[in-house]
Structures are given as C-alpha cells and as structure tokens.
Amino acid sequence: MCGITGWIDWEQDLSEQQAVLKEMACTLKERGPDREGYWLSSHAALAHRRLIVIDPVGGKQPMLFTRGEQTYALTYNGEIYNFRELREELRARDHVFRTHSDTEVLLHAYVEWGEDCVDHLNGIFAFAIWDEARQQLFIARDHLGVKPLFYAQVGSTIVFGSEIKALLAHPLIEPILNDEGMKAIFVSIFLSGGGIFRDVQELRPGHCATFTRERTHVRQYWQLVSRPHTDNLETTTEYIRSLLSDTVSRQLIADVPVVTLLSGGLDSSGVTSLAAREFQRENQVLNTYAINYVNSEEHFEGNAFRPSIDRPYAEQVARDLPTNHHNIMVSTEELIGNLLVPMRAHDRPTMGQMETSLYLLFKAIKQNATVALSGESADEIFGGYPWFHQEHALNTPTFPWIAARMNPGSNTPLMQMGLPFVSPALAHELHPHEHMQQLYQEALAEVPRLEGESSRDTRIREIFYLNMTRFLRLLLDRKDRMSMATGLEVRVPFCDHRLVQYVWNIPWEMKAIDHIEKGILRRAFRGLLPEEVRMRRKSAYPISFDPAYTQAVRRWTLEILNTANAPVNTFVNRAFLRQLAEHPDEQKRGENAYFLFDYLIQTNAWLQEYHVVTS
C-alpha cells in the first residue's frame, strides 16, 4: 500500500515544479513511510510514497516504461492479487519484465490493453498512468472501493491524490465548503463518499477516468449483474468456500509479515481459519490480533447490535486452530488522546471512538507486521446486519441502517431521521429530509433489477445494494484511513469482486438458510471453526463501555459549547447539545449520545485546523 498524488497541466510547464509536488506527497508520508519518488515532464508531475510489501528492490515508483517514442509513467496504490497469472499472460504477448513486482505487471497491462486493463485485474487499487505521447492521464479505482482516489479540475489543471490533504497542498485547491459539502458534513454523515470541498471529487468504486486537453471521460467499468441463481445449496456452499480459500491464499502473498484480525465473529474467524491452514502448510504459526477496552467488560450491556462480548470467542478460535493470539487493551485515556487522529486521516469529521480504537489496534499490529487480513464486508455481502431482518428497517423508505436506529412513532429528536444537533437555521437551509431522500432515490435508481422477482425479493435486493454501495464504503474508508495512518496494509478477502458478484444473485432464502443471518456462509465454514463460533450471532464492532469515556467527551463537548468563538457553534443546536451533555436521560444515553459528542469535537477541530471556509 502507498500514497499517490500528481498534477497535470496542458498549458503550464511542470518540469520545474518538484517543490509543490513534494509538498503534496509529504502529506501522505504515513501511507508510504518507506520511500518517496517523483517524476516530472513538461505537462505531468507524478509522486509516490511507498509502503514496501512486495519486491522491495524492484517496485520503485513512479515506474516508467518506454517503447520507441512512447513513455508511460505509473503511480499506484494497492495490490494486484492475480499479478502472477497476468505476468505469464503478458510474457506470452512478448512483454519482458525486469522486476518481480505487481507494479510492473500493472504498467504492462495498460501498455497491452489500454483502458481495458481494469477488466483483467483482481485486487485493491487506485492508480494513475500518464501517457506522454498522447498527453493523456488515466486513473482507476478498484471494484468495491477499498483504495481511495480523489481528483480536482480547475481550468487546465488536474490534481489527484489518495487523500484530500494531498490536493489541498496544491495552491489552486482551497478548503471551501460549498452547499454539497455542508450537507455531507451536517446531514449525510452516515454516508461516505464525495470530495467535501469545492472542485474536489471522489472517483467512485468500479470507475475509471480519462483526461485529455479536450475532454474528461468518467465511466463505470464494473457493476453487479442480476441473473437467476441456478446452483443448488450444496454447490453454492462449496463454491463460496473454494472462492474464499483461493482469495485468502492470494492475499497472503507478501515479502513482509502477515497477520489477521480476529474478533471472534464468524467473518474474521473464517478468514483466520483459512489463513492459519496456509501457514501450517509452511510449518508456521499465524499471529492474530483483537481489541479490548480497559474497564469495559464489567459495564457491558448487550443489545440487538452487540449481544455478546468478543473476547471469549476470539480466544476459543485462537486455541482451536491454534494461532499466536494478541489481545490489545485500549484505555479511555488513549481513546481521548487520539480522538482527532481519524479526522486528520479522513480530512473530515468521522465516526469517533470506533475509528480511534481501530487506529490504536493497527498501531499495535504495525510493531510486528505490515499486512493484516480482515473480515470486513461479509455482513454487507451475505446479509449479516439486524436491519436485513427487521420489518421496520426493510419497509422504511430510507437507508436501512438509519431506519434501524429510528424508533417507530417516536418524537424523540435523537431517533428521528432529522438532525437535532444542527442549528434550526442551518437545518432550514440544508433541507435534511429532502437531501437524504434524494441520495436514497439516486441509489435505488442504480439497482440492477431482475425481471420476474417478487416484491419482497426486489426489496431485499435493494437492501443489499444500498449496503454494498453506500454503507460498505463508510467501513472501507474507515479501514483504509486508520490502517494507512500507521503504515499498515489491511486486505479484505470478502471484497473479492468474483465472490461479491456470485453471492449477489444467491436467493435470500439460501443466504439465510438455517434461519440465521449469513446462514450460507456458516455452512461454507463448517468444519473450519468451533461450533459455538460458527453459530454465534452477529455482534457489531466492539466499543468501550467504560463510563469514563462518555464522561470525558461530555466534558470536552461542554468546553466547546462554552467557548464563544468555537467555530462549530455557528452550525449546531447548542441548547440541544448542552442538554444532552449536562443531563443525559436514559433514552439518549450511550452510543448515540457519545457519537454526537465525538462528531462535534472532531468537527470543531476540523474547522479550525483545515481553515475551512463556507461559501
């Protein structure tokens, strides 16, 4: 994994602009702590920050390929998991390779197939290729959006980067928050995506773009295809298991230490089991990692989202396989002390404690490893969340994860789809209900329909699409930013697009076989896990139940509300937030409340540190 950035201008000579390019690249040093590289020509300037994972000597970037009068320059972030097969295919087409890196394979794939190279890739990637002869820039992002990529166009200038901060380091890009950016920060906070600032755009997952002096062309190169599922239950189960086995095996390839995340849930335990067996074939023991919180278990209160504690299940899997298991304990002091790290990594306010804790986990892992495998995205692909099974969430015309947190018929502001923490004036200006409905309808319009489906199956398909294209992006962004903030690469086997496409068309009755969420996946993992773990009910990512955390963020929130010139106070409902912080009643207490505190704290710091200007 790495950080990439660059600058194209068809009307300006960029060959002497390394100072600006270096400033852009330096913002990404956490993503690529091992090496930096630059390449400049008359109208193109590319930079790369490298995290060494494969071929330490041969994978230097930007990487160049010259054939006659043609020169191609590549800067790339990610891993191509089928690079070995592609290298052999390209060798058969007379390509000669000088390194063992997937970077060189990607560059030659573009030389051979042009923009269609993306159709040959299996992996997680964001890359940019400059064609010097044609004076053309090509950028692309992986199928599910595991790796980020942002760009901005201002006149004849195009700048791009792995993170928005790289674009902001360019003198033409300013932190101006327009109407759409305001809505992203204060309305659609449970939806990831978008550039936030004026002129900045995010390249969507499964998309690529070509830029020339004359035109810009953005296209979708991959999308889900709906078709009847004809495999029977046994064949489906076996195929899922074989696909996952192949995917995990590919994703273990690295020239640095590889570990897995092990929460004790079905998804991470399944990935860990497959990985541990690969390690055992090499007479090695897999290292696994889990997060827990100081002073938390004694205050744990189970609910629909977190019915049980992770630790006993993770330890059971570690004993059974076995693995060398590491239980990382995180304190409230560490969570509070690092609360602003996610904001700086995302260049925007985020999910607070759920991201801070992940950062601390990855920071601990990085001391001993550079690559980790995660169970992320299985719930979106197989239907593991409670809202897949709640009639209210299924039938409410909004995003199901929002509907699941609403109390039907309640007038309690915190549980409504509106935003009580936003000032009435701003809410009136932003029209939150209308904006969320617009986003919701736009998403529904994209759903690949299957003719002849029942209304129930049609709705289930919609719910899956919303989760896979909207909610999953939120989690993948979290995983990318928090891992790369520590220089750790996290791979996600359940995001293999072959698996995602296959599971997409499995009927709901088969996905939820045995009357339990992700029933088909549980069958695929039969014999690989202890039965108590294989049949364990879904429990969401763990949070701290230490009362000291809520008390700390309440105090921090009140400090901000009591500071007259705190920038966030212009935008929020101070009376509502003060009431919540000073007198949290039973209904408003807990995760919903401290999420608001976390978000307010990060938003205030973001407005200050990024010198945000509202248009």
Q: What is the pLDDT of residue 237?
A: 98
Phi, psi of 289, rounded to the nearest 5 degrees: -135, 140
Per the listing, tokens 């002497």 go with: 16
d(CA 113, CA 101): 19
Q: Are residues 197 and 275 in the same domain?
A: no
Q: Are residues 364 and 477 in the same domain?
A: yes
In a domain, 120, yes or no: yes
Q: Are residues 31 and 135 in the same domain?
A: yes
Q: What is the pLDDT of residue 1?
A: 64
Q: What is the pLDDT of residue 80?
A: 97
In a domain, 519, yes or no: yes
The Cβ of residue 615 has, within 10 Å, a number of other Cβ atoms equal to: 10
The region, left, alpha or beta by phi > 0 then psi within -120 to 50, assigned to residue 193 is left
User: Domain boundary at 507, 534, 561, which?
Assistant: 534
Q: Are residues 210 and 281 in the same domain?
A: no
Q: What is the pLDDT of residue 336?
A: 98
Q: Are residues 146 and 200 in the same domain?
A: yes
In a domain, 411, yes or no: no
Q: Are residues 79 and 216 in the same domain?
A: yes
Determine if residue 188 is labeled as part of a ligand binding site: no
Rg, Å, the chain Cα set: 24
In a domain, 322, yes or no: yes
Q: Are residues 518 and 442 in the same domain?
A: yes
The CATH number of whichever domain residue 203 belongs to comes to 3.60.20.10
**What domain range is 82 assigned to?**
2-220
Q: Are residues 477 and 442 in the same domain?
A: yes
Catalytic residues: 2
Report how many domains make up the chain. Answer: 3
Q: What is the pLDDT of residue 586?
A: 45
Q: Is 98 exposed, middle or buried (0-12, 13-18, 19+ CB in 10 A)?
A: exposed
Phi, psi of 582, rounded to the nearest 5 degrees: -85, -35
Determine if residue 261 is labeled as part of a ligand binding site: yes
Closest listed residue to residue 352, CA positions, set 364, 339, 363: 339
Q: What is the pLDDT of residue 175?
A: 97
Q: Are residues 509 and 557 in the same domain?
A: no
d(CA 527, CA 237): 13
d(CA 348, CA 603): 7
Q: Is the dihedral of CA 96, 101, 104, 110 positive or negative?
A: positive
Q: Are residues 181 and 247 in the same domain?
A: no
CA distances from 87 to 50, 72, 73, 124, 152 (A): 22, 18, 18, 17, 33
Determine if residue 291 is labeled as part of a ligand binding site: yes
d(CA 576, CA 573): 6
Tokens of 410: 């309640």
In a domain, 590, yes or no: yes
User: Domain boundary at 512, 534, 556, which?
Assistant: 534
Determine if residue 224 is labeled as part of a ligand binding site: no
Q: Name, in order, each residue with C-beta under 8 angstroms of 443's C-beta and a sequence gap of 6 or more.
A: 399, 465, 466, 469, 470
Q: What is the pLDDT of residue 251?
A: 97
In a domain, 564, yes or no: yes
d(CA 73, CA 82): 21
User: Domain boundary at 534, 556, 577, which?
Assistant: 534
In a domain, 437, yes or no: yes
In a domain, 393, yes or no: no
Per the listing, tokens 């939820």 go with: 512
Q: What is the pLDDT of residue 98?
A: 93
Q: Are residues 195 and 118 in the same domain?
A: yes
Q: What is the pLDDT of residue 132?
A: 96
Q: What is the pLDDT of residue 441?
A: 97
Which residue ranges of the chain lie beneath pLDDT 50?
409-418, 586-588
Q: What is the pLDDT of residue 585?
A: 59
Determine if residue 252 is labeled as part of a ligand binding site: no
Q: Are residues 262 and 187 in the same domain?
A: no
d(CA 574, CA 481): 30
